[in-house]
Structures are given as structure tokens and as C-alpha cells.
Chain A
Amino acid sequence: MLELKSLCKKFQSGTGNGRMALKDVSLSLQPNDFVTVIGSNGAGKSTLLNVIAGVFPVDSGQVTIDGEDVTHLPEHRRALVLGRVFQDPMQGTAGSMSIEENMAMAFKRGMRRGLSKGVSAKDKDYFREKLASLGLGLEDRLQEPVKLLSGGQRQALALLMATLSQPKLLLLDEHTAALDPRTAQEIQELTNDIVRRGSLSVLMVTHNLRLALAVGTRTIMMHEGEIALDVSDPERSEMTVSDLLERFHDARGERLSDDRILLEA
């Protein structure tokens, strides 16, 4: 489904050499894989997702999605098969535009946009039905500008928009981190629902280690631009957070206190 081969990415820092954000990263995802991604701050998790989405080019390596080499395709040409949700609820929606207009834009993901009506009556019914599935009452507020929604509502909408046109791969970058714990949990449950219903592969970055082990089918830990750990079910389903940290110690010969991940994240 997704095939990453020896990806390297270096960011030029203002002074001197810059640093490697991705060091020879290889990863292979099967359809329906739900991979949680953990790692301390600056480990390269967001860079990995950005490189897959084509936000910036890699220095070397290859990105293949569904058999197609997309390494040199710009971001907008990869959009058809990719859905994304970010940490900031503002980032996934257009605040000055209405809920239905946001949905309509997401519905046309990766397709040609012509001069026909942006929101057709037929689309509206479909949007209403989809919004109703969120259980937030948004289906009655189609014409309202998105900026009037709460952070949690806005993130739920962003999640719905990311998956509306059935992408093959969903990239979630700490998408519940900016929400209060209760809302975060609701959005996470919604995520699990959506993933269960549609058949798609998921990469979900989180700094909640327990959550990382509790959801999905596979967990990878990134450390200094590399994939330091990669565990899958059924082995993973037995693991606790301390097992995970122990495995990291065995693999890297260094300790990662769980504070370091948690507090820096």
C-alpha cells in the first residue's frame, strides 16, 4: 500500500550543517494497517508524514503509494489518495467558509474543479447524512461558517473531511493533542469508528504511549530520525508501556525515560 525506501531528509539550519530529520527510513504498510507513531519531540514524526504527503521533497529515497512512485509528485497531485488531519483544528478547515462549502471542497479531493455549482442539492443530502453520523448536531448548521464551531467540532469536521472521499491512506499528526481530554477521547473514538468503517491504512502520530498501544494494529517508535522500534499485533497487544520502553532500551542501548517523551511532546 505504502512503501518507503531509504528516505533521507535534512533541514538546513541557519548556522552550518543542519540536521538529519529522517535517516534512511524504510517502512512498508499493508492495506488496513493502522500504525501508531510515537517518539520524543523532534524525532521526525511530522517530517515523515510531510514527506509522504509531499509537503517538501526528500533528499534521497523513494515513496510509493499503491504501486505508484510519487517521490517527485507535488503535494496536490498526491491528494487523491491521501487524507490528513493536523494538531491544530484551524489547519484542516477553512474558517470563513460554511460547513457545507468545506465538505464540498473535501468531496472534490484530487478532482478537477470546474464551473458547476460548488454545493449541489444532492451533495447537501449526503453531507447532512455524514455530519449526522458525528452526532454533534452539525447537520442542522450546514450554512454556518466553520469558525463558529468549537475546537472539538472543528476537528471532528476536519476528520470527516479527510475521509469523505475515501482516501487510501490517512495521516493523523497528533490530531487530538490540542483538545481537552474529554474531547480528545471523543475525537479518538470517532477516528477508530471511521477507520473501522472505511478500508484504509492509517499512520497516527500520538504522544500518548498507552493510546499508541491500545489502538491500531502496529506501533513504530521514531528516534533521532530513525525508526527505532516496530512492533505489530499479536506481539504488540500483550505489551505495556514499560515493555515498550524496555524494548527501546534493548534496541538502542540507551534509556528513554518516559518523562522525556511525555513532557517534551
Chain B
Amino acid sequence: MNLALGAVFRVLEQGLVYAVMAVGVYLSSRVLDFPDLTVDGSFPMGAAIAARLLIGGIHPLVGTLLAPVAGFFAGAATGILNTKLRISNLLAGILTMTALYSVNLRVMGRANVPLLRTGTVLTVLQEKGIPPTISAFLLFCIVVVVVKFMVDVFLRTEFGLALRAIGDNESMIRSLGVNTDSMKIIGIGIANALVALSGALVAQYQGFADIGMGIGTVVAGLASVIIGEAIIPPRSVGMGTLGAITGSVVYRLAVFLALRLGFAPTDLKLVTALLVIAALSGKSIKRGIGIERRKAVRNAGTEISV
């Protein structure tokens, strides 16, 4: 009994730590309407940078907070490729992600960096007297609440409104004088900063950074966002971020149950991909109907008399 409860607790921890990444994916995919594949590279980048800095003796808190700075630049690079060099958003993300693979290897020096003998943000908490059994849960809760609060406030600022308008009606906000190129670059940067922060925390949580740990991150993030939307309709900014967080926890719970049901861990990415495909196809059918309706409105306007 205690064992099962412990397992569920672990799942909660995972859901929360990956929720930071899910909020990042929510920002790019929903707020900016930008399918951003940089995520598969910026997630391990956050892990790699934190691991390297921690091993180098940097304070874990500093190491953890430098990861999102690097993540921001990774995202901004994708934004620049897309807006300035006119490379399609998907390809721009793939290019950055591919480049980051080499960068991450350089940063780590090898494919896997164990963090078992270095201090981490978790051991810092434990030294302050927080019991090891709850330190991760406590930390991730605090991080998620802070991230959610900051993102919510940010999206309601003048700048945030313009950012949201890009995903909703780009030509309108441009006609209102917003440099949409710069906005997108900054927006994708912020999204990847969150992703990298999540990666840095995950590395310290699991005790290592690995070059392959980014594979499937963006799809897991999308799955979380989609599940979240189903549970909490994103009627406001706050509900959108809450949905991504909830979706992340539910997704990790679903993964846990799938494993319990006897799925091989190696099949999970297939299951996740199928889930996202199912959700997306449902959406595109809905969107198809929306387009038809809009056409009808246009045609209705053409009969006008002298």
C-alpha cells in the first residue's frame, strides 16, 4: 500500500517537473500558434548546462537558473530562422534542434553525465532540513506555482497582449504597429527558456543528464497541452496555463498506468504519438467546418445593389 502511494507520489513529482516544459509548449503552440520543435533540443540543453555547471562546482541554484537563459537563445535562434530567413517554422525548429545535439554533446563532454555525487537543488533543500521524501515534490510545486503566476501576469501585460494577438490574428496586430518578427523571436525564446528550466530540473531529479533525454519531449508536451484543454477549457490565460500543468500530471499518470498495464516502456512514445494524432485529427475536422462557415459569410456579402 505504502509502496503504491509512494509510486503515485513519484508520478506527481514527474508531472510537476515536466509541467514547466508543458507551459513552454503551451506558449509556443497555443499562444503563438507556432509548432516549435526546438523543444527536443532545448530540453536536454537545459539538462546539459545545469549538469556541466554543477559538476564544475557552481551553486546548484545558479546552475539551474542559467539553463533557461541558454534556452531563451535557442528558441530565439529558431525565431530568427523563421522570421528573418523565412525558413518554415517546422524546419527552423528542426535545424536548431539538430544543431543543439552537437552543442549539448560539447557542453556535456560525453553522452551521459551522472549527478549522483554533486550537489543539486534537491540536496540544497535537504541540507536546509527538508526531508528527502518530500523535497522534490515541494520544490516542483513551488517552481510550477511561480512559473504559472509569472506567465499569467506576463500574458496580461501590454507586451503579453500583443504576443497573444500574434497567435490569434497576426495581420491585425501588425497593422496596430507591432513588429511581429521581434515578438515571435522573443516569444519562442521565452517558451524554450521554460523548457530548458524543466530539463535542468529533470536532470537533477533523475540524477543524470543524457544526450538522448530530449527525444519525444515536444510530443509529450503537446499531449499534455491537449489533455489539459480537454479537462480545463482554456477560456482565459490562467485556465490555459492551469490546463497545461494539469495535462502534464494526467499525462504522466497515464504513462504510469500504461506501464502498470504491461506496456513496454519502449512503446510509450508510440502511444503518445497516437494520442496526439487522434486529438489533432479531431481538431482539423472542426477547423474544416469553421472555414466553410467563414466562406459562406464572405459569399453572402456579394449581393449588393446600386
Q: Which of A84, A88, A114, A115 contacts B294 (CB 8 A)?
A: A88
Chain B residue with Cβ nearest A145: B235
Say whether B287 faces chain A, with CB atoms less than 8 Å apart. no
1/0 per position for A99-110, CB-CB distance to B under 8 A?
Answer: 001001110111
Query: Across the interface, which residues of B come within 8 angstroms of A181, CB to CB?
Result: 304
- Give complex CA distance A178, B301 in Å: 4
Q: Tell me if B149 is interfacial: C-beta within 8 Å of chain A.
A: no
B151 interface hit (Cβ, 8 Å): no
A76 within 8 A of B: yes
Chain A binder among B6-14, B166-174, B197-205, B215-223: B166-174
Give the complex CA separation of A104 and B176 in angstroms.
11
Q: How far is the CB of A147 from chain B (nearest CB, A)?
A: 9
Q: Is the CB of B304 within 8 A of A207?
A: yes
Q: How far is the CA of A117 from the CA of B160 in the complex (A)?
A: 9
Residue contact B165 to A115, C-beta cutoff 8 Å:
no
Roughly how many angstroms separate A207 CA and B302 CA in the complex, as a whole number? Answer: 9
Q: Which of B176-206 contact A (CB under 8 A)?
A: 176-180
Alpha-carbon distance between A159 and B179 when the two chains are bound, in angstroms? 22
A76 and B179: CB pair below 8 A? yes
Q: Please determine whether B162 and A105 come into contact, CB atoms closer than 8 angstroms.
A: yes
Of the candidates A88, A94, A104, A177, which one forms a contact with B304 in the assembled complex, judged by CB atoms under 8 Å apart?
A: A177
Interface positions, chain B 258-306, Cβ under 8 Å from A, are 294, 297-298, 300-302, 304-306
Residues of B within 8 Å of A122, CB to CB, are none
Whether B168 pairs with A96 at a CB distance below 8 angstroms is yes
Contacts of B302 in A (CB 8 A): 177, 265
- Taking CB atoms, residues of chain A closer than 8 Å to B235 are 145
- Contact among A53, A93, A114, A174 with B158 in the assembled complex (CB-CB below 8 Å): A114
Which residues of chain A come closer than 8 Å to B301, judged between CB atoms? 87, 174, 177-179
B85 to chain A, nearest CB (A): 17
A74–B182 alpha-carbon span in the complex (Å): 13
Are A118 and B177 interface neighbours, CB within 8 A?
no
Return chain A residues, CB-CB under 8 Å to B300.
178, 180
Q: Which residues of B contact A75 (CB under 8 A)?
A: 174-175
Q: Is the C-beta of B157 less than 8 angstroms from some C-beta in chain A?
A: yes
- CB proximity of A52 to chain B, nearest CB, Å: 12
Q: CA A91 – CA B169 in complex, angstroms?
A: 7
Interface string of A209-243 (1 = CB under 8 A from B): 11000000000000000000000000000000100
Structural contact, B169 and A108, CB atoms closer than 8 A: no
Interface assignment of A79: CB less than 8 Å from any CB of chain B: yes
Q: Mark B55-97, 1 if CB is under 8 A from A, else 0.
A: 0000000000000000000000000000000000000000000
Q: How far is the CA of A94 from the CA of B300 in the complex (A)?
A: 22
CB distance from A200 to the nearest CB of B (A): 16
Which chain B residues lie closer than 8 Å to A258 at the CB level? 306
> By the criterion of a CB under 8 Å from any partner CB, how many residues of chain A are at the interface?
51
Interface contact A108-B168, CB-CB below 8 Å: no
B175 lies within 8 A of A113 (CB): no
The answer to whether A111 has its CB under 8 Å from any CB of chain B is yes
Q: Smallest CB–CB gap between A251 and chain B, Å?
A: 20
Task: Tell me if A57 counts as interface (CB < 8 A to partner B).
Answer: no
| B148 interface residue per 8 A CB criterion | no
Nearest Cβ in chain B — how far from A212, in angstroms? 10
- A116 CB, min distance to chain B CBs, angstroms: 6
What is the distance, in angstroms, from B56's C-beta to the closest C-beta of chain A?
A: 33
B162 to chain A: which residues have CB within 8 Å? 105, 113
B252 at the interface (CB under 8 A from A): no
Closest to A151 in B: B297
**What is the minimal beta-carbon distance from B133 to any residue of chain A, in angstroms?**
39
Question: With A and B bound together, what is the CA distance between A75 and B171 in angstroms?
Answer: 10
Closest to B301 in A: A178
Identify which of A74, A117, A145, A258 gathers the most chain B CB atoms within 10 Å of its CB.
A117
Q: Is the CB of A106 within 8 A of B176?
A: yes
With A91-B171, A208-B304 as contacts: A117 and B157 at CB distance below 8 Å: yes
Minimum CB–CB distance from A66 to chain B (whole Å) comes to: 16
Q: Is the C-beta of B111 less than 8 angstroms from some C-beta in chain A?
A: no
Contact present for A94 and B169 (CB under 8 Å): yes
CB neighbours (8 Å) of B178 from chain A are 76, 79, 113
Q: Is the CB of A109 within 8 A of B160?
A: no
Q: Which of A74, A94, A241 contacts B168 (CB 8 A)?
A: A94
Alpha-carbon distance between A168 and B34 when the two chains are bound, in angstroms: 34
Docked CA distance A74–B161 (Å) = 21
Per the bound structure, the CA–CA distance linking A92 and B165 in Å amounts to 11
A105 to B156, CA, bound (A): 11
The complex places the Cα of A106 from the Cα of B172 at a distance, in Å, of: 10
Q: Which of A105, A114, A241 has the most CB of B within 10 A?
A: A105
Interface assignment of A132: CB less than 8 Å from any CB of chain B: no
For B297, list chain A residues within 8 Å (CB).
88, 151, 178
**A97 at interface (Cβ–Cβ under 8 A)?**
yes
List 7 A-B residue pairs with CB atoms under 8 Å apart, sorted by A's residue number.
A93-B169, A96-B164, A106-B176, A113-B162, A115-B157, A241-B306, A265-B304
